Structure 1
Amino acid sequence: MLILCFALPLFFITGLSKVVASLLHDDVLDDADTRRGIGSLNLVMGNKISVLAGDFLLSRACMTLASLKNTEVVSLIATAVEHLVTGETMQMSTSAEQRRSMDYYLQKTYYKTASLISNSCKSIALLTGQTAEVAMLAYEYGKNLGLAFQLIDDVLDFTGTSSSLGKGSLSDIRHGIVTAPLLYAMEEFPELRTVVDRGLDNPANVDLALEYLGKSHGIQRTRELAAKHASLASAAIDSLPENDDEDVQRSRRALIELTHRVINRTK
């Protein structure tokens, strides 16, 4: 028990550091000017300082993680960091066919967002001495929660405002990034594929793509997919071994409530 009292806070700090580091790097890649309503670090201090700050946080997080002396957990989080890089690479180097693929999009989304959450959840289960079955359920919870979160994030890029999102609306499409709402719109309107292939760096093509999106069910279908993954996350919690302890029950209710908050958030 004493080990866990030290291990869990350390793991939380490690995970938080990796998340902040990934956001710093993300803002550089996206040329973001703001982060949650305030000037992004890359805007204030420049890209070089922002990248170095992210690298520093990653290195400190890895050192802290190593102090847990659990090789399986270290391996899981190292995998998550590898996935972050892989996801960014997939986003930056897509072919025309890949940009139109929902499977490719979901794989990239898992790497960029859901891998860190799922592997962190699994790691916590392992650190607390849970069985392999429980650890896998924790992984499934984090994976589906992460996918739901990113799907809603992609919806909000179209429906949110700059003040609520803390970044410019339509950020993804203006950077040529095709997300689930547009992918669903392309299923309904195949001619949209030609618009996307011509390049979203052209404002006229962006306006035309948005026109097709507005006529489609892309936003609605993306929300439905997010709700499906949120439901799968809740199901993973419901599948955990029965436990009558009130604290355990309260924690499980909180985890399920989190899935509802993720799909109902507005920023």
Structure 2
Amino acid sequence: MFYSKKSIILDKNLKLMVSTRHPVLYAASEHLFTAGGKRFRPSLVLLVSKALNDNIILASQKRLAEITEIIHTASLVHDDILDDCSTRRGVNTVHNTFSVKVAVLAGDYLFAQSSWYLANLDNLEVVQNISKVISDFAEGEIRQGLILFDTGFTINEYIEKSFYKTASLIAASCQGAAMLNGVDLEISKRLYNYGKHLGLAFQIIDDILDLVGSVEFLGKSPGSDLKNGNLTAPILFSVTENDKISHLIYREFSKKNDIQLAIDLINNSGGILKAKDMASEHVEAALLSIDNLQSSESKKLLQKVAKYTIERLY
């Protein structure tokens, strides 16, 4: 999105960073990078870096941006296996193209590569900060796996799970860019909070789009969260307004048209609006977190990114 001018360089560097002597493993790792993506996370790292250092990006911050995308991509490979997704970014998923075994190894390999490059940043604080994200991913997946089709799952638990699965990486990478710039602790924490709230808003909107988006827009079939029993904010809000949705969830969408019926019921309830309002609150919190940053074009873009998160619905 905001990284488009340098996306060719990023893509080239990503492929160089995942090079391996095993051709199948390399092909699997390269598969998603070739498919592209929004490059949302590395864009944030670069914007934070420029906002803190008079439009200058350090070499270590450029590397952190690339590491962030590798970690994100590794998590997608594993997510697709767990959710049994057939497509990602408009192309076949790694486990569909190769095999589940190769996909697991490819995801592990990408995590390992990101850890190696992270260690070479030679900044212990940043290493500790970003390394925790990988354990957060596992925590998020475990939490999600324990509550599938569970209508007793609360909104607070949903937010915690969303932090581990999405917001943790965005928060840590924004803070990591600040740490590499040597800023004081208060500014570092503010940028962490910016990334945290932005990440939560981003996930909530993604969960709404899973119910209202098209195949062309999503790059996969809508309703995948429902099908897998992953109850997201718009679903949880809708359950309290329409008992029929709970009934469909309880029988795990066992009948042919259950998924489409559930999507229609959710779209006609107030759950979508409530989820959007919650996302808007997190966007406002993200904007407040960077309010004290010195005025610059990069700060304006960070604000624009936050506002764009909600605008993706339109």
Scaled by the length of structure 2, the TM-score of the pair is 0.77
Q: Does the 8 Å contact 1:33/1:39 carry over to 2?
A: yes
Judged with a 3 Å threshold, the aligned counterparts in structure 2 of structure 1 residues 201 and 103 are, in CA distance, closer, same or farther, namely farther
The alignment of Structure 1 onto Structure 2 pairs a total of residues equal to 259
One-letter identity of the residue aligned with 1:5:
L
Which structure shows the bigger proportion of residues in helix conformation? Answer: 1
Q: Does the 8 Å contact 2:200/2:282 carry over to 1?
A: yes
Alignment of 1:1-267 (within 5 A): 5-94=58-147, 99-190=152-243, 192-203=245-256, 205-240=258-293, 243=294, 249-265=296-312
Q: Does the 8 Å contact 1:185/1:218 carry over to 2?
A: yes
**Secondary structure in structure 2 of the residue aligned to 1:188:** coil
One-letter identity of the residue aligned with 1:45:
F
One-letter identity of the residue aligned with 2:308:
R
One-letter identity of the residue aligned with 2:129:
L
TM-fit CA distance, 1:199 = 2.3
1:7-51 per-residue CA deviation (whole Å, 9 max, x = no partner) reads 112211111110111111111111111111111111111111111
Q: Does the 8 Å contact 2:204/2:276 carry over to 1?
A: yes
Q: Does 191-200 or 80-89 show the bigger shift?
A: 191-200
Structure 2 spans left out of the alignment, 5+ residues:
1-52
One-letter identity of the residue aligned with 1:76:
N
Judged with a 3 Å threshold, the aligned counterparts in structure 2 of structure 1 residues 95 and 162 are, in CA distance, closer, same or farther, namely closer
Runs of 4+ in structure 1 over 4 Å off: 95-99, 201-205
Distance 2:78 2:104 in 1: 6
Judged with a 3 Å threshold, the aligned counterparts in structure 2 of structure 1 residues 233 and 183 are, in CA distance, closer, same or farther, namely same
TM-fit CA distance, 1:6 = 2.5
TM-fit CA distance, 1:208 = 4.6
Distance 2:240 2:226 in 1: 17
TM-fit CA distance, 1:187 = 2.1
Distance 1:197 1:42 in 2: 29
Distance 2:151 2:138 in 1: 18
Q: Does the 8 Å contact 2:71/2:111 carry over to 1?
A: yes
TM-fit CA distance, 1:100 = 2.8
Q: Does 97-106 or 187-196 show the bigger shift?
A: 187-196
After superposition, the CA RMSD in angstroms is 2.0
Identity %: 34
Distance 2:208 2:58 in 1: 39
TM-fit CA distance, 1:70 = 1.5
Scaled by the length of structure 1, the TM-score of the pair is 0.90
**Secondary structure in structure 2 of the residue aligned to 1:25:** helix
Judged with a 3 Å threshold, the aligned counterparts in structure 2 of structure 1 residues 209 and 141 are, in CA distance, closer, same or farther, namely same
Judged with a 3 Å threshold, the aligned counterparts in structure 2 of structure 1 residues 149 and 193 are, in CA distance, closer, same or farther, namely same
Judged with a 3 Å threshold, the aligned counterparts in structure 2 of structure 1 residues 37 and 191 are, in CA distance, closer, same or farther, namely closer
Q: Does the 8 Å contact 2:74/2:107 carry over to 1?
A: yes
Q: Does the 8 Å contact 1:118/1:141 carry over to 2?
A: yes
Q: Does the 8 Å contact 1:175/1:200 carry over to 2?
A: no
Distance 1:253 1:207 in 2: 40
Structure 1 spans left out of the alignment, 5+ residues:
none
